[in-house]
Amino acid sequence: MGEIATSDRQITLFYSSKSTRAKQTLAYAKAEGVAIQEIDILKTPLTGTQIAELAGRLNIEIKDLVNQEHPSYKSRFEHHDFSERDWIKMIRHNPEIMKQPIALRGDITILVETPTDIIKI
């Protein structure tokens, strides 16, 4: 069992409050009457275990959770092959570079590409 608690009755949404897509996703979910537990990654830092668990739930490598096109990433880092531990540190210290929003419900986890994706789970 992982560190992230999930429920079939509500969606847990990991997001950045500065993200337009996240704001649209939240608004859409609320308009549809979906029960949501909101976790703003800028206000509630994720642990390394949670970051690794999210990557695992999405069936991607931790490095693939990083948006390397984000201005914050481009201004601070050069493209390298980092270790998993380094990628986790980068996300923990710069949460804005993490791809999001990520929605969880029960055993289902998705990276939300468009706000309407939220109702797919």
Could you state, in order of their start, the residue ranges of all structural domains in the chain? Answer: 11-120
Q: What percent of the chain clears pLDDT 70, i.e. is strictly above it? A: 99
Q: What is the pLDDT of residues 54-100, one digit of tens each?
A: 999 999 999 999 999 989 888 888 777 789 999 999 999 999 999 99
Q: What is the pTM of this model?
A: 0.93
Residues in the chain: 121
Question: What DSSP assignment string belongs to 87-120?
Answer: HHHHHHH-GGGB---EEEETTEEEE-SSGGGGGG
CATH code of 11-120, in short, is 3.40.30.10
